[in-house]
Amino acid sequence: MSTLTADDLRARVGELLAAHPPASTDRLEFLRARFDAGLAWVHYPAGLGGLDAPRELQNVVEAELAKAGAPDNNPRRIGIGLGMAAPTILRFGTDEQKQRYLRPLWTGEEVWCQLFSEPGAGSDLAALGTRAVRDGDEWVVNGQKVWTSVAHIARFAILVTRTDPDVPKHQGMTYFICDMTDPGVEVRPLRQLTGEAEFNEVFLSGVRIPDANRLGAVGEGWKVAQTTLMNERVAIGGNAIPREGGLIGMVSKTWRDRPELRTPELHDRLLKLWVQAEAARLAGTRLRQQLAVGAPGPEGSAMKLAFANLQQALTGLEIELSGEDGLRYDDWTLRRPEKVDMLGRGPGYRYLRAKGNSIEGGTSEVLRNIISERVLGLPSEPRVDKDVAWKDLPR
Amino acid sequence: MSDLLYSEVEEDLRASVRDLLTDRAGFTSVLARTESAEPYDLKLWRTLAADLGLAGLAVPEELGGQGASYREVAVVLEELGRSVAPVPFLGSAVLATAALLAAGDTELLPRLAGGELIGALAVPLTTAPDAGFPGGVSANTEGALSGSVRTVADASVADVLVVPAVGPDGPGLYAVEKAGATVTEVVSLDLTRRLADVSFDNASSRLLTSGPGVESALRQALLVGAGLLASEQVGVAQWCLDETVAYLKQRYQFGRPVGSFQALKHRLADLYLEIVSARATARYAADTLATGDSDVPVAVAVAQSTCSAVALHAAEESVQLHGGIGMTWEHPAHLYLKRAKSSELALGTPGRHRAALAGLVNLPPA
């Protein structure tokens, strides 16, 4: 790690801004220059958008750039690339792969999606059956993936496949980078209970992937996928929010503005949720303080569970607090959003969308298993599938 | 933002308190004492209060204390919660001491801080910070007190009582020596925290403070008590979780450790999540109390309503998940259940604190 200080970084940001004034520079050009200056993600290696600096110094860069009105790289739209693909490529990619993919990924020129879940492999991801068969310098891939956010705008995907069905399921997987424009890749919108199609199904029919696009060794796909999934959970609960930030603020405001909707029972529930939201906010703050001093606690795995519980209870309350309007919905039109817009839609949308919070990125049930086994050290459930070849598993 | 972590100094303090309590307040001895003639371990109290100086942690050095802060007091309470040690810490080192600090007293404080005297704040333990000034005890023009107060924590071992009483010129805080009061110990739901009814019949007293600030002085003492009790509740909850996890790992039924059943694992994971939140709220309350932050009333209401419920849930789960063993007198779980249920009522119930919060954060009732 380098010995860069906050002041060094401020000076580097100053140089970047002087050479590329945000007001008169094209957005993409600015972002590329920022990447090349090592100010994209300062904890990444030099030459790959970083400076080998401590991760927490990124905040210094962000604050300086925000002050100068510099464009951002729209991290919510490209969140899967930033949060999951990038750390995996950094850890397992070849030098060529890192040089080719990381820069356009970070600037948002190339959007990434994640081809992990399948209709028969959700919580039990290691059961996946999308086959990749070697053919010379290429692999031929056949199978179906599901719940794939932003697949319809993605240029690349991180993809886990089955390459050896004769060994137990956690072995015999291989991890690839898949070009979404290749022949045989078909993306179909998957309409959700909210009316919109935030996710897709992706059908892979005879897709040919060069061996050069493999990440990690053949058969080591599970290990690579673990890196991706660990980074997914780290990304959750990242930013400091003020008191009454998010949905609790919206519901509290309705309570204050619309006295005619108040009942004693709703008051009781609102106060309980207010306390719960404040407690979760403080727990998130404590977690960030632990990370900042380099002592991450096991609390992180609990925060996603807390968030899902809270969002679901709050959105349910919000509908009831809406009175007659709670019976109405804002828009059932089939749309294909690039990101989830919880605050921009109506209470009905929020209620329905929040149901996904306890399913996406690991169900609450799986998270409870992780907490009880890895944090509390309780014994795992007996596994009947551990030593059985994948092809012999009941399905 | 407040520092919600434990400092190294605080972790050292925790370690030394835990070592001492492991040695001297093991479960068997705590249980045996509950039915003895000496339900409180005053020898242990002297070690904690006088030898280690923990009774005066938050008292300035010039008043005979350690000059630390309420953050450190909270750490001690967390450990006392873990062990349900039978010592009058909450009554003396927290409530009475906070009242004397708020009253600007300089005579009694050094003696309480040094562990020389045990104090108690003569209010029912159920009193919430926003309860208003109590009217059960009155003072005449000579300062003699008459009246009574029920269910006072730690009064049975107190050498001196800090008494809110209404005199001819309005409310005041008075100090009464043990000899001037009639203290009748009552049978307490919590076997390890003793309660007593206290009455005064023309008891001679010393006026500590009166005038416009006295009501807020009492409220401040109750806020300190309620805010720090949250840390004790975190300790209770953590013990219940730790003990239950340990038990479920070694108890076999249906040919597997009971802890491998998902139905039970999920309940413990939820409990863990609750404790993560509870600890953050308790730390925040302790930190705002330590720094005198203007957010104290909100922080205390959030911490109390969270930690009361979490400690109780943890204790109830502990009894249930221990099965038949959890119902027995010989297993410690019941001591924690009794402490948790009593603490839920102490210094304001969760509902009471939420009602206070409604006013503080402008969420008016229907």
How much is the pLDDT for A395? 79
> Is residue A386 in a domain?
no
Provide block-wise average pLDDT over 10 residues at a time, chain B (366 residues): 94 98 95 92 97 97 96 98 98 98 97 98 98 96 97 98 96 97 97 97 97 96 98 98 97 94 97 97 98 98 98 98 95 97 98 98 96
How much is the pLDDT for A229? 84
B310 CB-near residues (< 8 Å, 6+ apart): B233, B234, B237, B274, B275, B277, B278
With CA atoms as reference, the chain A residue closest to B265 would be: A372
> Is residue A258 in a domain?
yes
CA–chain centroid gap for B253, Å, is 38
**CA of A330 to nearest chain B CA: how many angstroms apart?**
27
CB-based contact B283:B228 (threshold 8 Å): no
Q: Residue A25 above 90 pLDDT?
A: yes
Q: Which of A219, A254, A270 is the last residue of a domain?
A: A219
A356's tokens: 């996904």
Output the CA torsion sign for A210, A211, A215, A219. Answer: positive
CA–chain centroid gap for B248, Å, is 30
Q: Residue B154: which region, alpha, beta or left (left: phi > 0; alpha: psi -120 to 50)?
A: left
Count the domains in chain A.
3
Inter-chain residue contact A266 with B276, CB threshold 8 Å: no
* A261 and A335 inside one domain: yes
Residue position matching structure tokens 């205390």: B300
List beta partners, residue B39: none
CB-based contact A356:A286 (threshold 8 Å): no
| Whole-number average pLDDT of chain A | 92
* A204 and A237 inside one domain: no
How much is the pLDDT for A343? 86
Q: Residue A240 above 80 pLDDT?
A: no
How much is the pLDDT for A237? 47
* A239 and A331 inside one domain: yes
* A260 and A359 inside one domain: yes
**CA of B266 to nearest chain A CA: how many angstroms apart?**
5
Q: Which residues of A touch B249 (CB under 8 A)?
A: 377-379
B233's tokens: 């509740």
Compare CB distances from B366 to A252, A264, A377 and report the shortest one's residue: A264
Cα-only R_g, chain B: 20
How much is the pLDDT for A337? 86
**Domain CATH for A231:** 1.20.140.10
Q: What is the three-class DSSP state of A139?
A: strand
**C-alpha–C-alpha distance, residues A388 and A394, integer Å:** 10
Interval A170-209: pLDDT, tens: 999 999 999 999 999 999 999 999 999 999 999 999 999 9
> Is residue A46 in a domain?
yes
| Amino acid present at A346 | G
B158's tokens: 């107190």
Q: Which of A44, A72, A100 is the last residue of a domain?
A: A72
Interval B223-235: pLDDT, tens: 999 999 999 999 9
* A236 and A333 inside one domain: yes
Inter-chain residue contact A283 with B269, CB threshold 8 Å: no
> Is residue A390 in a domain?
no
**CA of A285 to nearest chain B CA: how many angstroms apart?**
8
> H helices of chain A, where?
6-19, 27-36, 58-67, 79-80, 86-92, 95-107, 221-234, 247-257, 264-292, 300-321, 347-354, 364-370
Among A22-31, A188-197, A385-394, B109-118, the minimum mean pLDDT is found in: A385-394
CB-based contact B231:B77 (threshold 8 Å): yes
Angle ∠(B244,B246,B248) on CA atoms, nearest 5: 65
Cα-only R_g, chain A: 23
A139 backbone dihedrals φ, ψ, rounded to 5°: -120, 140
- A131-135/A173-179 β-pairing: unpaired
* A230 and A210 inside one domain: no
Instruction: For residue A181, give the nearest of A200, A209, A161, A160 by alpha carbon.
Output: A209
Tell whether B259 is within 8 A of chain A (Cβ): yes
For A270-298, what is the mean pLDDT? 89
A332 backbone dihedrals φ, ψ, rounded to 5°: -95, 5
Q: Residue A238 above 70 pLDDT?
A: no
For A127-139, what is the mean pLDDT? 97
CB-based contact B313:B259 (threshold 8 Å): no
Burial environment of residue B132 by CB neighbours within 10 A (0 to 12, 13 to 18, 19 or more): exposed
* A43 and A163 inside one domain: no
**C-alpha–C-alpha distance, residues B343 and A88, integer Å:** 49
Q: Which residues of A touch B258 (CB under 8 A)?
A: none
> Is residue A101 in a domain?
no
Tell whether B302 is within 8 A of chain A (Cβ): yes
Inter-chain residue contact A377 with B257, CB threshold 8 Å: no
Instruction: Concatenate the DSSP letters of all residues of A79-104 into one string.
Output: HHIIIIIHHHHHHH--HHHHHHHHHH
Burial environment of residue A169 by CB neighbours within 10 A (0 to 12, 13 to 18, 19 or more): buried
* A149 and A35 inside one domain: no
Q: What is the three-class DSSP state of B252?
A: strand
Q: Which residues of B touch A375 (CB under 8 A)?
A: 269, 272
In this prediction, residue A211 has a pLDDT band, given cuts at 50, 70 and 90, of: very high
Cα–Cα distances in Å, from A158 out to A84, A114, A148, A151, A215? 9, 5, 11, 11, 9
B6's tokens: 């434990």
Q: What is the DSSP letter of B120?
A: E
> Is residue A300 in a domain?
yes
* A209 and A245 inside one domain: no
CB-based contact B345:B338 (threshold 8 Å): no
* A232 and A213 inside one domain: no
How much is the pLDDT for A235? 47
Interval A69-97: pLDDT, tens: 999 998 878 889 999 999 999 999 999 99
- Active site residues per annotation of A: 232
Residue position matching structure tokens 């992180």: A300
**Domain CATH for A127:** 2.40.110.10
Domain that residue A345 falls in: 225-376
How much is the pLDDT for A296? 73
**CA of B234 to nearest chain A CA: how many angstroms apart?**
13
Secondary structure in 3-state letters for A267-327: HHHHHHHHHHHHHHHHHHHHHHHHHHCCCCCCCHHHHHHHHHHHHHHHHHHHHHHCHHHHH
Q: Which of A219, A247, A272 is the last residue of a domain?
A: A219
- Look at the pTM and tell me if it is higher than 0.95: no
* A229 and A370 inside one domain: yes
A220's tokens: 């080591």
Instruction: For residue A250, give the nearest of A335, A157, A344 by alpha carbon.
Output: A344
> Is residue A266 in a domain?
yes
Q: Which residues of A touch B261 (CB under 8 A)?
A: 381
Q: Which is more confidently placed, A142 or A335? A: A142
The per-residue b/e assignment along A171-201, b for 16 or more CB within 10 angstroms, e otherwise, is bbbbbbbbbbeeeebebebeebebbbbbbbb
For A284-312, what is the mean pLDDT? 86
Work out the number of other CB atoms within 10 angstroms of the CB of residue B13: 22
Cα–Cα distances in Å, from B313 out to B316, B321, B340? 5, 12, 9
B3 CB-near residues (< 8 Å, 6+ apart): A289, B287
Angle ∠(B82,B161,B210) on CA atoms, nearest 5: 120
Q: Residue A301 above 90 pLDDT?
A: no
Tell whether B354 is within 8 A of chain A (Cβ): yes
With CA atoms as reference, the chain A residue closest to B266 would be: A368
ipTM exceeding the 0.85 mark: yes
Interval B88-123: pLDDT, tens: 999 999 999 999 999 999 999 999 999 999 999 999
Q: Which residues of B touch A259 (CB under 8 A)?
A: 364
Interval B41-67: pLDDT, tens: 999 999 999 999 999 999 999 999 999
> Is residue A86 in a domain?
no
CB-based contact A172:A162 (threshold 8 Å): yes
> H helices of chain B, where?
8-24, 27-34, 42-46, 70-83, 97-103, 108-113, 214-250, 262-291, 296-321, 333-345, 350-360
Inter-chain residue contact A367 with B365, CB threshold 8 Å: no
Inter-chain residue contact B281 with A282, CB threshold 8 Å: yes
* A251 and A349 inside one domain: yes
How much is the pLDDT for B331? 96
The per-residue b/e assignment along B256-265, b for 16 or more CB within 10 angstroms, e otherwise, is ebbbbbeebb
